[in-house]
Structures are given as C-alpha cells and as structure tokens.
Structure 1
Amino acid sequence: MTEVETRIRDSFDRQSMMLTLGATLAEIAPGRVVIHAPILPGSLQQHGAGHAGLAFSIGDSAAGYSALSLMPEGAEVMTVEMKINLMSPAIGDRLEAEGRVIRPGRRIMVVAADVWAVSNGTRKHVAMLQGTMIPV
C-alpha cells in the first residue's frame, strides 16, 4: 500500500459518518477514489429509494479524497461548496460514488463525483456532484 493510500484509508476510518452509512473505500488512485455504501433500511427516503443524503455523503467524500490523493503528505482537505444533481431514484442494493479531480490547484481544487445505484450487477447513474475543495 502506498503512503497516499494509507493516509486516505486512515482518514476515512476516522469518519464516523462513513461508518454509520456502512461505506467502504473500494478504489484509490491519483485523482480518483471510489466509495461503496449499501442502501440500508435506515438510509431510505419516504418512497423507498436511497436518500439523497446518502448519495451526497459518499459523493462528497469520494470527491474530497480524490483531491487529497494529489496533495502532499501532511495536508488535509475540506469541502468549500458542493452541488448535486439528482437524476434518478437510488433504487438498488448499494450506491457507488466515483470522485475525481477536475482541476488541481494549490489553493482550491475543483472536483466531481458520479453516483450509481447498483442492483444485481447493473449500474444506474443516479447523481452527479461538482464542488470545490480547499487544502487545510
């Protein structure tokens, strides 16, 4: 495991929200991070689909960790702003969020994430996020 992977995994393990959601780190690469989360009974909205808060939470974290993957040792990152477009109900067994860096910078990083609902191996694109991260 690389130093960057170790740093991201250690940081992820300190996020109690990800633990609450049952989220896991699936992939880490420079400028790209994938997070999976089951659609649990406690993360549904009133119509039975995965709540937008679940999609936002794992999308924001995937995007943030994609930014952190390009930052020097000792750096941390925080979300300055994040926008989400919900495109389809999140119906399935789990959600997958793929975060990526759009534009790396020293003061701000523009990031994005796509979120898919997965059911029986089939993925459906349910949300897109775009935002700005700042080194702290």
Structure 2
Amino acid sequence: MTPERTTQIQQSFAAQNMMKSFGASLDHLDDGSCHLSAPILEGNRQQHGFGHAALTFGLGDTAAGYAAMTLMPPDHDVLTAEIKINLLSPAKADRLVAQGQVLRAGRRLITVEAKVWGITGTQRKLVAVLLGTMVPVPISAAPAAT
C-alpha cells in the first residue's frame, strides 16, 4: 500500500461521524488488514452495562471495510454488501479492538472477516466474529453524504 493510499484511508476514517461518536481510532493499516479500537463509553453501553452490540458490530464492519479498501486502487472505495456477526461473549471490558482482514479479494466481491476483542488491562477476550462481503465502487459512484 502506498503512503498516499494510507493517507487517503486515514482521511476517510476521520470523516466517519459514527466512529467519532464512538471515540474510535485507526490503529493499524497494512495490505488486507485494519485494526481499530474504541473505549466503551457510557453512551455506548446497554442496560446491563456491557458494550452495546451496535458498537461491536460498527467497529467490526468498519475494520473489515478498511481492510478491503487497502487492496483497492486509489479511485475506489468499498461498501458492505452483507455481513453477519456472531456475538460470542458480552463486551464487558474497558475498550474494544477490532481486527479486520481480507480473506479473498476478487474483482467484484471481497470476502472479509473481523474479530472484536474486549480489553481490560492485560485481559483480552474474544467478543465477536464477523464475516462479510464488500463491493468495490468507484469513488465517483459512491453515495454522497446528505
């Protein structure tokens, strides 16, 4: 991945309002790989005090999407076509780390996975696994924000 593409992806991530509201950070980018993390803020907890599944899903989907983007040409973005999540454990942690990875990059479909870990101190527990499909789209064809 070129330095220009890295910068382009970092700028794209910085424009994600939902990730901003989660307090998420882009921690690692490499060809076919992306790691994100976010604290489990009070506003992102469900009624039992665990991190909400929407936080887990959002981080996993976004990490998987940016992992796919690392393999795209600079004039392309990706959109999620479908993604499933298996919630393995409550997100009872201080923060979540999502590790997205490309399993197979085709011309029309990119198969991705993400693992989301709950982290408290040195304790690490697998919270969720996601499996999905991303679709490459030319940036000029990507839906504009309204």
**Structure 2 equivalent of residue 58 of structure 1:** 59
How big is the shift at 1:12?
Answer: 0.3
Instruction: Using the TM superposition, give the Cα deviation of residue 92 of structure 1 relative to its aligned residue in structure 2, in angstroms.
Output: 1.0
Whole-Å separation in 2 of the counterparts to 1:9 and 1:123: 26
Q: How does 1:118-129 map to 2 (within 5 A)?
A: 118-129=119-130
Percent identity over paired residues: 51
Q: In the aligned structure 2, how far is the partner of 1:67 from the partner of 1:117?
A: 23
Counterpart Cα distance in 2 of 1:11 and 1:105: 22
Deviation at 1:4, TM superposition (A): 2.0
List aligned pairs for 1:1-136, cutoff 5 A. Answer: 2-136=3-137
Distance (whole Å) between structure 1 residues aligned to residue 36 and residue 29 of structure 2: 9
Q: Classify the secondary structure of the residue corresponding to 1:5.
A: helix
Residues in 2 aligned to 1:93 and 1:109: alpha-carbon distance in whole angstroms: 32
**2:76 aligns to what SS in structure 1?**
coil
Larger-Rg structure: 2
**Structure 1 length normalisation: TM-score?**
0.98
| Separation of aligned partners in 1, 2:29 and 2:46 | 30
Offset of 1:121 from its aligned partner?
2.0
Secondary structure of 1:92 counterpart: coil
Once the two structures are TM-superposed, the CA of residue 5 in structure 1 deviates from its matched residue by 1.2
- Aligned partners of 2:82 and 2:16: how far apart in 1? 19
* Residues matched between the structures, number: 136
Q: What amino acid is the match of 2:15?
A: R
- Please list every run of 5 or more consecutive structure 2 residues that lacks an aligned counterpart in the other structure: 138-146
Instruction: Provide TM-score, normalisation by structure 2.
Output: 0.91
Q: Which runs of 5+ in 1 are unaligned?
A: none
Matched letter for residue 103 of structure 1: R
Stretches (4+) displaced over 4 A: none
